Amino acid sequence: MIELHRVWRVFSVGPVKVPALSDVSFRIGKGEFVTLHGASGAGKTTLLRLLYRDDLPTEGEIQVLGYDVPKLARGQVAALRRSIGVVFQDAKLLPGRTVYENVAFVLRVLGTPRREITPRVFDALRAVGMSSRAQAYPAQLSQGEAQRAALARAIARKPLLLLADEPTGSLDETMAGEVLDVIKDIWTGGTTVLFATHQHSLAVALRQRTLVLQGGRVVKDEG
Amino acid sequence: MLGFLIGEALRDLRRAGRVAVSAILLITLSLAALGAFWLVSSNIGQATDQWRNRVRIIVFLKRDASTAEGHAVADRVTAMPGVATVRYVSKTEALGTLKQVLGKDASVADQLPVNPLPASLEITPTAEGATPDGARALIARLAALPEVDEVGGGSQWIERLAQGRRLLNVVGAGVGAVLALAAILTVTTATTLVLHARRQEMEIMRLVGAPELVVRMPLLLQGMMQGLLGAMIAIWALIGGFTLVGPRLEPLVHQTLGIERLTFLRPDNVVALMVAGTVLGGLGGWLARGRREP
């Protein structure tokens, strides 16, 4: 499903080279739930961005869903991303559209037939417990609800892989628990999940395989 | 999908607000200027075509040429290249015409001891013979005939009118091109602002794997809508201007150019202006660039 071999990502700040990821290698199999744990600045977001080809490695090999990610042509990048759902800490909901429209938007841009859109949107909203909030605008949602709406948008396309970049980072414990439960349900449904968090307690509570990232290096692979 | 993309384009157009209005007005201005030059040019073209059909070359025969010799020359001239028709005007007919021109003073002509007017040939050239080079060559051939005393007429002034029309076309195209460039830049600016307002949508679209064409299509469509709207307003402005000013100019145009009625642009010209506006707007929309994918 995911395989990284000796991946480096080095940013140039003027004449100074700053390694965000150093010699990272790991493998994640189909159907796994893996927690990517590390403090802020450890390289979690950089790593996730490489997986959905929002950035390119300075060196190394990355295989995701059978795609040789760094070598993908522009047209193939879209094909890769159609199989990946991504959620962020800030939810990234479109402010001028309702929850329903936010979820429907991604289905429409991917050319989903019109008659399939409403049932798929409501399936996704039901899965995250948000069907009663379908007509609400993002500004009317709590942070937890916004994050669940973002999850609904990510899973409406039935992705094979879910990349979650600190989705509970700005939530209180209760809300974080609700979001986590939704992500676990998505995983139980067969989707491979890579869950990035800086919260150690959360990583422990998940009781799943955990990759610990420190200073851009994987220092521990446990569970 | 197209309906969705058009909906997105309309949403973008509303977001662009005043800048989109400026872009539409600039497209209106450029196409109205282009259309106005085109309108004037097509009417001058109509006049030159009409006058070109009326070009006549008059060949005055030597005074001692008999009627039979005159007809023989007419036959030879008819066979010349660049000649459409030849009419023989006898000395008597020429005097009759002179009397008509003199009107109440026609009795002066009766007092002449002999008819002083020569016989002549009134030649209508073909389209080729009416061009400056064709007319020059024809006049040279006619002047070389032994029975010919003098050759008059030609098409120089019509060609000057045609040259004026060509100059007008060049000026019109130049002004139109400058304004069109300004319109493209304005649409590009409007679209760049839209890009800024739309960056979240585009980010989500790219994130979920929408084809790049789908990501950019609303930008292209909103540019095309601005262009089409600008072209339609320009055409209505031209129709309005023509309806108001045309009837007032017609007497002057009739006297100077000899055309009865001014004509508006042909339907295919109107369609061409609309297509030009749509292409201008589309180009502006497409040229706006956002963040590039790695």
Residue B117 DSSP label? P
Q: Is the pLDDT confidence value at A63 over 60?
A: yes
How far is CA B93 from its chain centroid? 40
Q: Which residue of A has its CA nearest to B206?
A: A78
Does B134 lie in the same domain as B8?
Answer: no
> Which residues in chain A touch residue B294, judged by CB atoms under 8 angstroms apart?
53-56
Q: Is A55 on the interface with B (CB under 8 A)?
A: yes
Interface test with A, best of B15, B204, B208, B215 (most A CBs within 10 A): B208
Residue A215 CA: distances (Å) to CA of A21, A54, A202, B90, B137: 7, 21, 20, 112, 91
Q: Please say whether the beta carbons of A86 and A47 come within 8 A.
A: no
Select from B200, B210, B294 the Cβ nearest to the Cβ of A109. Answer: B210
Q: Is the pLDDT confidence value at B162 over 80?
A: no
Q: Is the pLDDT confidence value at B19 over 80?
A: no
Q: Which residue of A has its CA nearest to B294?
A: A55
Q: What is the 3-state secondary structure (H, E, C) of A161-198?
A: EEEEECCCCCCCHHHHHHHHHHHHHHHHCCCEEEEEEC
Model pLDDT, residue A32 = 92
Q: What is the mean pLDDT of residues B213-222?
A: 84
Q: What's phi and psi for B33, nearest 5 deg?
A: -65, -45
Does B279 lie in the same domain as B173?
Answer: yes
The whole-angstrom distance between B178's CA and the closest CA on chain A is 36
Highest mean pLDDT among B69-83, B126-140, B273-287: B69-83
Q: Is the pLDDT confidence value at B233 over 90?
A: yes
The whole-angstrom distance between A222's CA and the closest CA on chain B is 30
DSSP three-state, residue A3 = strand
Q: Please say whether the beta carbons of A139 and A102 come within 8 A.
A: no
Q: Please say whether the beta carbons of A169 and A89 come within 8 A.
A: yes
Model pLDDT, residue A158 = 86
Place of tokens 């084809």: B211
Q: How far apart are CA B20 and CA B85, in angstroms?
A: 60
Q: Is B205 on the interface with A (CB under 8 A)?
A: yes
Residue ending a domain, choose from B100, B126, B154:
B154
Contacts (Cβ under 8 Å, ≥6 apart) of B36? B172, B238, B241
Select from B4, B208, B294 the Cβ nearest to the Cβ of A81. Answer: B208
| B residues 2-31 closer than 8 Å to A (CB) | 4
Q: Please say whether the beta carbons of B174 and B4 come within 8 A.
A: no
Q: Is the pLDDT confidence value at A56 over 80?
A: yes
- Residue B290: pLDDT band by 50, 70, 90 thresholds? low
Q: Which candidate, A212, A157, A208, places its Cα nearest to that of A180?
A: A208
Q: How far apart are CA B80 and CA B123, in angstroms?
A: 11
Q: Please say whether the beta carbons of A163 and A84 come within 8 A.
A: yes
Q: What is the dihedral of CA B180, B185, B186, B190, to 10 degrees?
A: 140
Which domain covers residue B223, as residue numbers?
2-51+159-287
Q: Which residues pair with A11 in a beta bridge?
A: A18
Model pLDDT, residue B200 = 84
pTM of the model: 0.66
> Which residues in chain B touch residue A45, judged by CB atoms under 8 angstroms apart?
none
- Is B294 within a domain? no
> Which residues in chain A touch residue B214, judged by CB atoms under 8 angstroms apart?
109, 111
Does B61 lie in the same domain as B129?
Answer: yes
Q: Please say whether the beta carbons of A2 and A11 come within 8 A.
A: no
The whole-angstrom distance between B4's CA and the closest CA on chain A is 7
- Output the domain CATH number for residue B150: 3.30.70.3040
Contacts (Cβ under 8 Å, ≥6 apart) of B43? B253, B257, B259, B262, B263
Q: How far apart are CA B176 and CA B231, in angstroms?
A: 13
- Is B18 within a domain? yes
Q: What is the mean pLDDT of residues A116-132?
A: 90
Place of tokens 């993309």: B5
| pLDDT tens readout for residues A157-171 | 888 999 999 888 877
Q: Please judge whether B293 and A77 are an interchain contact, meaning their C-beta atoms are less than 8 angstroms apart.
A: yes
Q: Which residues pair with A165 in a beta bridge?
A: A196
- Is B133 within a domain? yes
Q: Please judge whether A106 and B214 are an interchain contact, meaning their C-beta atoms are less than 8 angstroms apart.
A: no
Q: How far apart are CA A148 and CA A204, in angstroms?
A: 22
Select from A80, A94, A157 the Cβ nearest to the Cβ of B201. Answer: A94
Q: Please say whether the beta carbons of A55 and A77 come within 8 A.
A: no
Max CA separation in chain B (angstroms): 105
What is the total residue count of chain A?
223
Q: Token pair of B137, please? A: 């060559």
Q: Is the pLDDT confidence value at B38 over 90?
A: no
Q: Please judge whether A92 and B205 are an interchain contact, meaning their C-beta atoms are less than 8 angstroms apart.
A: no
Does B125 lie in the same domain as B269?
Answer: no
Q: Are strands A2-13 and A59-64 parallel, antiparallel or unpaired?
A: antiparallel
Q: How far apart are CA A144 and CA A178, in angstroms?
A: 8
Does B186 lie in the same domain as B124?
Answer: no
Q: Please say whether the beta carbons of A147 and A91 come within 8 A.
A: yes
Q: What is the mean pLDDT of residues B217-234?
A: 88
> Which residues in chain B touch residue A74, judged by CB atoms under 8 angstroms apart?
212, 293
Select from A78, A84, A157 the Cβ nearest to the Cβ of B211. Answer: A78
**Does an H or E element contain A53, and which?**
none
| pLDDT tens readout for residues B195-212 | 777 788 888 888 888 888
**Does an H or E element contain A75, and which?**
helix A74-82
Residue ending a domain, choose from B96, B126, B154:
B154
Does B95 lie in the same domain as B29?
Answer: no
| pLDDT tens readout for residues B146-161 | 888 888 876 566 667 6
- Residue A47: pLDDT band by 50, 70, 90 thresholds? very high
**Does an H or E element contain A2, and which?**
strand A2-13
Write down the architecture of domain A2-93+160-222 according to CATH: 3-Layer(aba) Sandwich (3.40)
> Which residues in chain A touch residue B205, judged by CB atoms under 8 angstroms apart?
106, 109
- Residue A9: pLDDT band by 50, 70, 90 thresholds? very high
Residue ending a domain, choose from B94, B127, B154:
B154
Q: Which residue of A has its CA nearest to B3?
A: A108
Q: Please judge whether A82 and B209 are an interchain contact, meaning their C-beta atoms are less than 8 angstroms apart.
A: yes
- Count CB-CB contacts under 10 A for residue B47: 19
Question: Average pLDDT, whole number, for chain B?
Answer: 82
| A residues 14-53 closer than 8 Å to B (CB) | 52-53
Does B237 lie in the same domain as B142?
Answer: no
**Does an H or E element contain A119, and which?**
helix A114-127
Q: Token pair of A163, please? A: 């990349």
Does B111 lie in the same domain as B245?
Answer: no
Q: Is the pLDDT confidence value at B225 over 70?
A: yes
Percent over 70 (pLDDT), chain B? 94
Model pLDDT, residue B218 = 84
Q: Is the pLDDT confidence value at A74 over 90?
A: no
Does B271 lie in the same domain as B164?
Answer: yes
Select from A81, A92, A108 the Cβ nearest to the Cβ of B209. Answer: A81
Q: How far apart are CA A93 and CA A16, in angstroms?
A: 36
Q: Is the pLDDT confidence value at B113 over 80?
A: yes
Q: In a 10 Å sphere around its CB, with 0-12 CB exposed, 13-18 middle and 19+ buried, how is residue A12 labelled?
A: exposed
In angstroms, the first-to-last Cα distance of chain A is 18
Q: Is A157 on the interface with B (CB under 8 A)?
A: yes
Does B150 lie in the same domain as B165?
Answer: no
Model pLDDT, residue B235 = 93
Q: What is the mean pLDDT of residues A141-147?
A: 89
Does B282 lie in the same domain as B165?
Answer: yes
Model pLDDT, residue B289 = 62
Q: How far apart are CA A43 and CA B208, in angstroms?
A: 23
Count of structural domains, chain B: 2
Does B122 lie in the same domain as B258?
Answer: no
- Please name the residue ranges forming H helices in chain B: 2-16, 18-53, 67-78, 91-102, 107-110, 132-143, 156-207, 212-257, 267-287
Highest mean pLDDT among A136-145, B136-145, B183-192: A136-145
User: CA A213, A215, A221: angle at the middle one, nearest 5?
Assistant: 20
| pLDDT tens readout for residues B246-259 | 888 888 878 777 77
Q: Please say whether the beta carbons of A20 and A216 come within 8 A.
A: yes
The residue type at B96: G
Q: Is B292 on the interface with A (CB under 8 A)?
A: no
